[in-house]
Structure 1
């Protein structure tokens, strides 16, 4: 009977995931929210080695990207290799490498955790992945295209599972040192994989790991230095595997949050992004459910109140059921604590004790990455996906003499759960759950932009998700660059007397007013507005220095304007008719240069966001560090003779290579250790 129920539960699990995630079926792109789209022309030119400089950062003007080098490298490598080996479209890649693995890993990961900590509730195990993979938080994350966060999320229970195993191996009276170190290595590997996708989610999980070890140590009264020592070994292994970006990050003191401005690092931004109150967090209800409209918080829905009641009822059941009390009380206490911690931090700067979160944001190292507190929903999701099946098991024990008690309890809970996500079940959610076709006009525009010479495109007010953006033709997002989407503010900047000159220095050849195929750019009161688009259209048509370019084969849904002039990516500043500069990008952090006919000292301008770590090495001249121009580009004084050759290099890249060697060595040692131990 029990085996038949497990088979039935497995079928129900597959059916539920199939029904709710059916929007991911098919062969059309899923691009929505933060999940983009790339043409084959982009993918085939991806650099697969880690790079310290990312051309699309700072809204298309380039920036230090070592803090995202892990995820960026994984993305570029997998996309290019997949396309090279299969020749399949982007829609295949995103499903095979991202969306389907998200479901498979999430199922395996959550099942591994619940089977380890509560082996006696086998008949309810398969409810855990349903809760973990279909709650409102992760549905909003995956539907919003935050697949880096989503992949780290589904790996979190697996990392926690390995840390619990590690603790148990340490606590054995006569443990095998070989087994102990093998578990350390395995834990370090899965931790490194989680860091690869999103280190912020790892930060959140650390709270869970520390909470587990603290609770169990209190119950078992077994705290010694060995626990602290072996707690840190997996982090050391993971750090070595990620040395290729951690090394330059530390040595060059990169502060990505501060570089993004006050909108990412101020107390005001934390208060603004604290959308969830304590009641939303405690009930595992995402504040933007179900429409996922930024900033629009919905009222608490009463059916969600049953979820924390079911979860925390496990404490009551343990006290009543003396048979199970001594065996699982530490685990119950841990998951209850985990859920409460998650609810407390997920509310962010909202009462109660809102000053605690703000104090930690300002003073706790690394905590300033959480201007959006909903990342802590992970802890609630893990806790409830384990506690609710435990409570259901205890209810089943009370009614075990009734026929089909297990089946009835499971069906009733599934009915409750599916009612909380009924919009998802009905297919009413947007985002990645709705397939899209690439508008033909963007296919035409891609061919127009894909020219041999270097230039940028300026998108007003924002870059459209199907717009081409490559190393040779970066797309600049003007609204984000100006930190405003207001039509009046953006158009006032475009009409400024100095704008044409600034665009030329940014190497902008085309100004593009996009076709908003998914209704997410021209917004008024959180809804698409054709009037906003018309306002931009009329102003750009009347602009005195822009020339509208007719594009053959385009249905006039996209407006393309050409600037009067544009500079090259690198150019010589000064009066000279004889000076010539030729350059070639060999890597995003390395350019080779040849300068001829230089009659006098001049300045070399490099049209990327200023960074003092760009260094120019020319024959016959000492190494020159970049100096900022008035508009925050890179400049280098040149005082050579008639002709010179050299390189322009971004120095943190050298330490990326050093770190990559260290990471490769650590990977080899790790693989050998897993095989040998």
Structure 2
């Protein structure tokens, strides 16, 4: 019984996330939709998409930012192959992230905040901090409510990374730096959002500087400097597998966005009214909670407004501890920085933020600063809320016993975030189940499509769909997750050169959707008939979705409009039906494949999405067409290393003129070399760190402490 009492807080903090996960996944549904799509539906297919810097969907395009997910998803895939369903693995991941984040906050506060406080405070303040970290308005709307996996992983890694770094500082042990790096490796999906590098490193960097300044002896400062450099170096080398390719090619992919300063400032100014000081100080967000009434109009009532104000009001009472607990100054600095960034262009320092925003281009990734950086503010808030609540309870304890403490926790962490307890996210249904006929269709298409692509119809003008399933789906068009053959189904900006032509043909083209449109007036992709355009994409089958809501098609088009159009087309006929899916076959020459020559027969081997081996079966000059989106980083070279001249065909794809067809030809996406180099560096670093870790662990055990 004494053991239970001793670890009661840990037990409760482990049970609370379990309760949430059991509530959320009680019906065996998948958490899907929004910008994430269905990454847990088919983990094997998803892993094949994210493992390379070329994303094999929607015509193919450069995409290195998903590489941080590869180790974690590779581990998950092992269990998926053993038969565990995606929603089960997803539930386990969510639980582990919640527990990791909550317990990290618990031990962080216990380690550096409460040692000088009374015994009772040492027990209750870390517990309150952990509960508040999990159940607060920001967690509701921006961590779990947004449905972004990177934010969820940040929820776990941010306090854990800081905790381990601080332990290393305090105990003068590099051992904890190794643990911090291992933790960041395991939770590397955090860094899919490139802004999370700054988010994760900001608290640690501030702690470096803070500790250096308050240190009074040279020896301590030397250790802090050495420890900091050691941590930065081993972290960088450990994460080389995604850092190198991301910083080599991500700028190329995102340059149309990141280089448009005025557009980014416009976005910043446009969203800033939704996170003014009166909202940010309460960790709320105006649009989601109050304007859009995402969680109901009840949140605009006086009662719920009053509950939200309990957060800053309670935190104010922590001022009494500022002198007694010196480390609170670190959290105060972190809090003020988090507040400054989260407010964006809003007063009182919005003008200065815009100046900095203009001056440093990398900060333009924080166009929505509260969404991206608010989690730092949330972490900094936790000790102040917990200490303030404890102080308030002490002041009222004689009269009200512990009622004030329990009441505020109940209102803030229970009533206000009730949608979190129910599993209600972002005002839409995030819980879905893919109908069985999709798997049936995928099996048939995989057996018949060969190297051909699929196209999802009705073709949408943007990237979002709503499927009218028993448990509806709302989010990005998910064809790339649902089907094994490569799929085209949404506007991803870079594919507009052919996608807009198809939209015009179907009559639902909307100008300036997702930014400027390329000039397609003289497009070589345009053809007299639909089947000819689809042949240029190597699309062998059309998947017609009778389960799609007409409202998302655009330009007042309906499914019936698309159905009539398809029925009028030559060389296109319906060949199969699976539930609400009609499959149309597109008939064109078998000589047209993913890689082919109009003049001679060819054979090719796909080694992976970034490397192909091609053999010309006739010895004469010919053109070699490669039906992936044109990218200057695609190269074709012969066995002797001769690089062939790269051209564009059909206005969107790749082509090379082959003069010596006796040699094998290799088609390679050059950025994969960066991935290979980074992977080697990361692998060698991890092996070395494991050896060092084992050695240090044995040494500590030998000396009688861990």
Please give the range of the TM-score, normalised by the shorter of the 2 chains. Answer: 0.7 to 0.9
CA 1:565–1:345 in structure 2 vs 1: closer, same or farther (change >3 Å)?
farther
CA 1:489–1:402 in structure 2 vs 1: closer, same or farther (change >3 Å)?
farther
The question of whether the paired residues in 1 share the 8 Å contact of 2:636 and 2:644 is answered with: yes
Corresponding residue number in structure 2 for 1:568: 593
The question of whether the paired residues in 2 share the 8 Å contact of 1:276 and 1:347 is answered with: yes
> What's the Cα RMSD here?
4.0
Counterpart of 1:670 (choices 679, 686, 689) is 689
Task: Name the SS for the 2:275 alignment partner.
Answer: coil
Alignment of 1:39-438 (within 5 A): 43=44, 46-47=47-48, 50-56=51-57, 60-75=58-73, 77-84=74-81, 86-96=82-92, 98-119=93-114, 120=117, 121=121, 122-140=123-141, 141-169=143-171, 179-198=172-191, 199-219=194-214, 224=221, 226-250=223-247, 254-258=251-255, 266-274=264-272, 275-290=274-289, 301-315=305-319, 317-318=320-321, 325-326=323-324, 328=325, 330-364=326-360, 366-373=362-369, 374-399=371-396, 404-405=401-402, 408-426=404-422, 428-429=424-425, 435-438=431-434
Corresponding residue number in structure 2 for 1:173: none
Residue deviations 1:418-448, cap 9 Å, x none? 2221333455546898542212342343234
Corresponding residue number in structure 2 for 1:535: 558
Corresponding residue number in structure 2 for 1:473: 485
Counterpart of 2:545 (choices 514, 525, 537) is 514
Residue deviations 1:343-393, cap 9 Å, x none? 221233444443444443443253232233211111121122221111122
Task: Name the SS for the 1:593 alignment partner.
Answer: strand
CA distance in 1 between partners of 2:583 and 2:290 (Å): 33
The question of whether the paired residues in 2 share the 8 Å contact of 1:136 and 1:284 is answered with: yes
Corresponding residue number in structure 1 for 2:672: 653
CA distance in 2 between partners of 1:135 and 1:516 (Å): 37
CA distance in 2 between partners of 1:61 and 1:629 (Å): 14
Task: Name the SS for the 1:671 alignment partner.
Answer: helix
1:603 aligns with 2:623: yes
CA distance in 2 between partners of 1:209 and 1:157 (Å): 10
* Further displaced range: 586-595 or 504-513: 504-513
Residue deviations 1:128-152, cap 9 Å, x none? 2222122233333334431232112
Task: Name the SS for the 2:35 alignment partner.
Answer: coil
Task: Name the SS for the 1:183 alignment partner.
Answer: helix
CA distance in 2 between partners of 1:493 and 1:356 (Å): 48
CA 1:380–1:41 in structure 2 vs 1: closer, same or farther (change >3 Å)?
closer
**How far is 1:412 from its partner?**
3.5
* Further displaced range: 387-396 or 435-444: 435-444
Alignment of 1:587-602 (within 5 A): 587-599=608-620, 601-602=621-622
Task: Name the SS for the 2:33 alignment partner.
Answer: coil
**How far is 1:449 from its partner?**
2.7
Task: Name the SS for the 1:66 alignment partner.
Answer: coil
* Further displaced range: 659-668 or 494-503: 494-503
CA 1:654–1:427 in structure 2 vs 1: closer, same or farther (change >3 Å)?
closer
Superposition TM-score, scaled by structure 1 size:
0.81
CA 1:482–1:209 in structure 2 vs 1: closer, same or farther (change >3 Å)?
closer
Task: Name the SS for the 2:687 alignment partner.
Answer: helix
CA distance in 2 between partners of 1:304 and 1:269 (Å): 27
Residue deviations 1:524-573, cap 9 Å, x none? xxxxx9x9786354145236547765464534x44555546484211224
CA distance in 1 between partners of 2:570 and 2:2 (Å): 73
Aligned residues: 636
CA 1:287–1:229 in structure 2 vs 1: closer, same or farther (change >3 Å)?
farther
Corresponding residue number in structure 2 for 1:27: 28
The question of whether the paired residues in 1 share the 8 Å contact of 2:644 and 2:656 is answered with: yes
* Further displaced range: 229-238 or 61-70: 61-70
1:498 aligns with 2:563: no
CA distance in 2 between partners of 1:369 and 1:307 (Å): 29
CA 1:156–1:255 in structure 2 vs 1: closer, same or farther (change >3 Å)?
farther
CA distance in 2 between partners of 1:45 and 1:160 (Å): 31
CA 1:294–1:561 in structure 2 vs 1: closer, same or farther (change >3 Å)?
farther
The question of whether the paired residues in 2 share the 8 Å contact of 1:592 and 1:648 is answered with: yes
Residue deviations 1:12-63, cap 9 Å, x none? 645654555411334332223234436987727954994332213xxx2223
**How far is 1:473 from its partner?**
2.2
CA distance in 1 between partners of 2:83 and 2:109 (Å): 40
The question of whether the paired residues in 1 share the 8 Å contact of 2:157 and 2:200 is answered with: no
Superposition TM-score, scaled by structure 2 size:
0.78
The question of whether the paired residues in 1 share the 8 Å contact of 2:131 and 2:413 is answered with: no
The question of whether the paired residues in 2 share the 8 Å contact of 1:303 and 1:420 is answered with: yes
The question of whether the paired residues in 2 share the 8 Å contact of 1:446 and 1:468 is answered with: no
Uncovered stretches (5+) of structure 2, i.e. residues with no partner: 466-476, 510-524, 697-706
The question of whether the paired residues in 2 share the 8 Å contact of 1:278 and 1:344 is answered with: no
CA 1:123–1:463 in structure 2 vs 1: closer, same or farther (change >3 Å)?
closer
CA distance in 2 between partners of 1:352 and 1:256 (Å): 35
Uncovered stretches (5+) of structure 1, i.e. residues with no partner: 170-178, 320-324, 524-528
